Structure 1
Amino acid sequence: MIMKPWKKLLLGLAGIFALTSLAACSSSTNTLDKVKNKGTLTVALNPHFAPFEFKTIQDGKDTIAGADIEIAKVIGDELGVKVKFSEMSFDNVLASVQSGKADIAISGISATKERQKIFDFSDTYYDSETVLLVKKDATEKTYKQISDFSKKSIAVQKGSIQENIAKANLSDANVVSLAQPGEAINELKSGQVEGVVLEKAIAKGYVDQNSDLTMSDIALKSDSNDAYAVAMPKGSDDLKAKVNKIIAKLKKEGKIDSYVQDAYALSLKSSSKSGVTI
């Protein structure tokens, strides 16, 4: 059977197109090269999560400070690029990485199994713990166990791992998702909610600044990985390897713990000067 010339041409073009498509699929964007070529590392974060990232005044200027900020700066220095912090609501932080608007996200992000399906994560750099914050005068009288929160309102930060933990542990409660932890604290103090589920280090800061609040002894279970890690686009093998080396070095030198402690002290100092709670 003799094939007509026009059919040969179509088959040839189809073959070229298939090879081109295959090559394009197999050569995913190298995030590390992308960052180095543009000379800037864009970091997505939500600056309302002291002591990891928060706003403060330094040398008369509005500044974003915190343990995560220091880690991001070290990553930028090691890569030889400038660091640009892009602030947004927490529920948009990972979406910004997925869309390519940010190169990485470092904002107290837990590397859960579900998130790992969509993003690459570095090795963890901080082991977090989730607690339940309540009014001090209610701990002994009203809320002694999880069942006491049945039909009550509990506030969480929208998009956080604490949102999932609250829903899993306090299934009979009304979980209210808010944009910022500060909003949740205000709701608690005003009596709009009966508790707030927060990461322990963040909760401690609010307790130290609000004598009417305390951390409940009620334990909250979690089936996911609550430790914090740096998020980046899927397939960022080279960047991930580099970030892992940086994190390993910082942990070995004890610098991450120092970053958290220093940032915690700064957050308390900043909030006392401004006259507002963190």
Structure 2
Amino acid sequence: MDSQWNPSESLVAKALLKRQDKGTTDVVANQLIFVLLGGFLGIIGSIGGSYLQARLAKKKEIRNSIYRPLFNQVHKIAEKGELPYDRSSMEFESVWEDFDAYQQFYVKETIAGQMVMLEGSISDFEGFLELLQYELRERAGESPFIEDRGESPSIVAETNQNGDPKAWVDVDDWVRMFAIPLIQTEKPEYLQENLIEYSQNQADGHYRYFQSWTEDEYCIIWQALRTAESKWTWVPETSYEHYTSVLNRARMAQNEIGEKVLGVL
């Protein structure tokens, strides 16, 4: 017997087919969502990774091109006791102002403040040297070793066998040539030793006339030093005390800059 068409069965079949199509559509939609989401997360991850790499690269650049040079400068002062003085130009060098605005912008504010104060303390020595030059010029004629030779008083740098002057150095130039030992000498009994040692280290030959100077010559130099310090009114310290203050300032800056050099940015 032939089966008869049953309308209810047809409706059920259509419903099943419709549900199957919907399920397929949902699966495709879900897959598409996962693909888009995965792509989006990949883009975000790539952007985040690039940003992180760029940030790390910038920190490394700041550490190597800004903080490391700063550290090297203050380290020479703090640990080696070397003031930034250029003997060829006869002047103190900058430890901060020579950094351009771009470099200074990236330096931590507290470190920048320490560097400004350090630079100011070092530049104070310029005023002291000018006062010392004046005091020695005023002493021309007090001793045969400081002569007024017309344009400017000069210090006798060399004598012949009879003790007569053979070579001279302008007083102003002499102070600048030996600025470091003059600043760093704490007591008069150390002056000759410090001048000789500095001259020998510089290999300039001047140590020979330092060895021939009498106590009277060193006494005149020391008196000029003390008088210059008394007129150095904006710095209430001796030159040696101010030198140690500069060392202490450099050590404070070195400690903080050292953290940046180690990479703690």
Q: Same fold (TM over 0.5)?
A: no
Please tell me whether Structure 1 or Structure 2 has the larger radius of gyration of its CA atoms. 2
Question: Relative contact order: is structure 1 or structure 2 higher (C-alpha 8 Å, sep ≥ 6)?
Answer: 1
TM normalised by structure 1 equals 0.23
Comparing both structures, which one devotes a greater share of its residues to strand?
1
Higher helix share: 2
Q: TM-score, normalised by structure 2?
A: 0.24
